Structure 1
Amino acid sequence: MTGGRLSHLAPDAVLTAARRVMARCDELARVTADEGAITRVYLSPEHARVNRLAAEWMREVGLTTRQDAAGNQLGLLPAADRDAPVLMLGSHLDTVIDAGRFDGIVGVLMAIEVVRLLRVADGDGWRSPFPFGIEVAAFSDEEGTRFGKALLGSSAVAGDWDDAWWELEDSDGTSLREAYREFGLDPGRIGEAARRPDQLVGYLEAHIEQGPELDRRGESLAVVSSIASARRFQLVVEGEARHAGGTPYDMRRDALLGASEAALAVERICSGEHHIIGTVGQLEAFPGAVNVVPGEARFSLDLRGEFDGERDRVWNAISRELDAIMGRRHLRWRAREVHSAAAVFCAPLLQDVVRAGIRATVAGAEPATLFSPAGHDGMSIGALTDVGMLFLRNPDGISHHPAESVAGGDVALGIRALAEAVAHRGAERG
């Protein structure tokens, strides 16, 4: 290694590592609760199965493994000084319903391969060649699919657990507390998952870009500058349910039409803003009969922005527009906020090492720097230590969908760039 650059990495070894990552993404895709689709949620039998597979692959490269008190799967490659802090690499293994096979998963598997490339022999085992250890984290609940609260696994690691979450329930009425016990975890020991800031020197995550910017640029890799701030709401519109045939239009208080107009207002307001994204992903009408004017409608709003203040300003604009819409239609509306996360800015040092890793891997133009409108575990870990991210090109930008994709060649470049980034971090002082 010279000045942080890994001159010894054989191209064949990196290509082999990429092929292994792609094959293991396929293998994990077969661990699913839904036949013909990929669905893998927190504290499920599928969660346990992928943790066992990840642990097996971690041990294969010399990591000492453990499952923590929140169900995260961790693997440690210590430094020569066993008490030295660690650089954490990782992502998540859970999915949305009917997911793709790369979101989160590719970052965990790439981290394992980076350890394989960087480790050095230490007697009968392996150690980190740097003044810090390397820890691979396979987080357990980034998506929040089962209980509606994202980032549970990484929040526990960050020491940011809220005891109110124990009362969250899934669609079957199982509480988070009950699910912990059924999984074999002890809710009373959740604090043991928390780490101290002095135990880490940073967190690096490789992830597919969940958008089309790199594909449009014709580039493979990018540095991430920040992760979006987010707010999520459940909204209810109240009108009056009446007979569909007997109620003239001037007497209708149609909650579904009010909610539909609200959804169009979200699109109109957000599409005129820079780096503000609003999405209505759920919409239900009640009582839901074909011959009844809907008396109530419920819908979700996912609002994201590069900066917290801009996000909040747009929410205020949406609220004013909903007041106007419902006033015209003689309806009432209310909102309940179910999630709020501040924007997380990647640390300048870790942006620099990721940029250096890309430069050492891909010759040519300066690496792109992109804002991430999607959320990641780094949003939680950023409260504990510095965070950096590497994006991989996602053809057509589609994600949270079976058509989600990444090219094996880009994975090879990403593995090399992530290994180079770790080496550059090792060459830095402090």
Structure 2
Amino acid sequence: MARCDELARVSADEGAITRVYLSPEHARVNRLAAEWMREAGMTARQDAAGNQLGLLPAADPDAPVLMLGSHLDTVIDAGRFDGIVGVLMAIEVVRLLRVEGEDGRSRSPFPFGIEVAAFSDEEGTRFGKALLGSSAVAGTWDDAWWDLTDADGTSLREAFREFGLDPGRIGEAARRPGELVGYLEAHIEQGPELHRRDESLAVVSSIASARRFQLVVEGEARHAGGTPYDMRRDALLGASEAALAVERICRGEHHIIGTVGQLEAFPGAVNVVPGEARFSLDLRGEFDERRDRAWGAIERELDEIMGRRGLRWHAREVHSAPAVFCAPLLQDVVREGIVAGTGAAEPATLFSPAGHDGMSLGAVAPVGMLFLRNPDGISHHPDEAVSAADVALGLRALAEAVAHLGAEPVA
């Protein structure tokens, strides 16, 4: 918990926590994490994507590894636990489980090594593309991303070079299937379910499928005073009605989480009927099919709204990610870890509406997750919280989960 506070002081903003990819703050937290990894008996290195990695090898140097971790980057004005607590818990689990080899060096007591990953860009705050660090490790890097730019016009390629990384070596960060036994991540729940249940820990069953869109509504800009209502083609009113329709459809039979997080009107003058409106749409669900049905219903509703108001609309999909289901074996060992660590008879099982690095790692390894209670469920906000008592239980459960996995035969 003290280290969470120490990392919180590494920020680009005074009085707030902001730490983005390939920034001086990114470099500073990587150095701190590397120091703590070495203290726990690991060798530490920064990979070709700027992820900080620590390795506790198995007795067999060619054995695969179990990856534990999360991310150290943040949103703007963040809390101090999202991602961060998962990295620090992974380091402490290594400290708990390591043994000394005949050569006096720390090693894994299992038929696999343990690797801790502090991913560099889960949030996508700087370049608008999430999961960059873990995508590089999963081998799913897209060269089109090199042309992404930040708010200052710096491209991802330029930022790589300024950070001391070589864009031409990005492929060296990728892992091949068979190199990883699996990926386990501890994370605060970014919602209130455990708080409502009065439970400390939960097994995660899956990570939500997601689609994101940028939508444009086109009407006609005219004088606000001189244009009667029957002649108005107000794009902002159309977009506003669309936002309400998103809530109604998603809360209804589809049971999908839909959010309009951005809404802009143009030309944006106080005395002009808006001729254009732009808004975002974030759709998340436990199952891809249900999410897609909700989008189909939203499309039909937008056709009706815009047709009735004399408006036109179009959408551009900017992100799509399928649901990632946690591997049954890893769900089982996490469940056994919670039972052994807390004495709970029947641990909660939750799906994660928020995205995590496991969404990327699922392309190359089985994925499992452990949730920790987050009082009131608030996240991406300075009031984000987790108790030291729950972290202690989580450490015990995560260590037990790794030990249970170590008792399973490695394929």
TM-score if structure 2 supplies the norm length? 0.98
Letter in 1 for 2:317: E
Q: Identify the residue that residue 411 of structure 1 maps to in structure 2.
A: 391
Q: Identify the residue that residue 294 of structure 1 maps to in structure 2.
A: 274
Alpha-carbon distance in structure 1 between the residues aligned to 2:328 and 2:377: 26
Q: Identify the residue that residue 60 of structure 1 maps to in structure 2.
A: 39
Mapping of residues 175-254 of structure 1, within 5 Å: 175-254=155-234
Q: Does 1:72 align with 2:51?
A: yes
Mapping of residues 231-380 of structure 1, within 5 Å: 231-273=211-253, 275-380=255-360
Letter in 2 for 1:370: L
Q: Is the 8 A contact 1:275 1:306 kept in 2?
A: no
* Structure 1 spans left out of the alignment, 5+ residues: 1-21
Q: Identify the residue that residue 120 of structure 2 maps to in structure 1.
A: 140
Letter in 2 for 1:218: D
Residue by residue over 1:85-121, the C-alpha shift from the partner in whole angstroms, topping out at 9 and shown as x without a partner, is 1000000011111111100000000000000100011
Residue by residue over 1:328-365, the C-alpha shift from the partner in whole angstroms, topping out at 9 and shown as x without a partner, is 11111111111110100000000000000000011243
Residue by residue over 1:342-396, the C-alpha shift from the partner in whole angstroms, topping out at 9 and shown as x without a partner, is 1000000000000000000112430010011100000000010000000000000
Letter in 1 for 2:75: V
- State which drifts further: 26-35 or 385-394: 26-35
Letter in 2 for 1:309: E
Letter in 1 for 2:221: A
Q: Identify the residue that residue 13 of structure 1 maps to in structure 2.
A: none
* Percent of residue pairs identical: 88
What is the CA distance between 1:275 and its match in structure 2?
Answer: 4.6
Counterpart selection for 1:45 from 20, 24, 31: 24
Q: Is the 8 A contact 1:224 1:390 kept in 2?
A: yes
Q: Tell me: CA distance 1:415–1:304, structure 2 relative to 1, closer, same or farther (3 Å).
A: same
Residue by residue over 1:228-277, the C-alpha shift from the partner in whole angstroms, topping out at 9 and shown as x without a partner, is 00011111111111111111111111111111111111110001146510
Alpha-carbon distance in structure 2 between the residues aligned to 1:296 and 1:169: 25
Counterpart selection for 1:113 from 83, 87, 92: 92
Q: Is the 8 A contact 2:338 2:344 kept in 1?
A: no
- State which drifts further: 390-399 or 175-184: 175-184
TM-score if structure 1 supplies the norm length? 0.94
Q: Tell me: CA distance 1:101–1:278, structure 2 relative to 1, closer, same or farther (3 Å).
A: same
Q: Is the 8 A contact 1:87 1:203 kept in 2?
A: yes
Counterpart selection for 1:153 from 133, 136, 143: 133
SS of the residue corresponding to residue 383 of structure 1 reads coil
Shift >6 Å, 4+ stretches: none
Alpha-carbon distance in structure 1 between the residues aligned to 2:21 and 2:285: 27
Alpha-carbon distance in structure 2 between the residues aligned to 1:31 and 1:194: 28
Q: Is the 8 A contact 2:254 2:294 kept in 1?
A: no
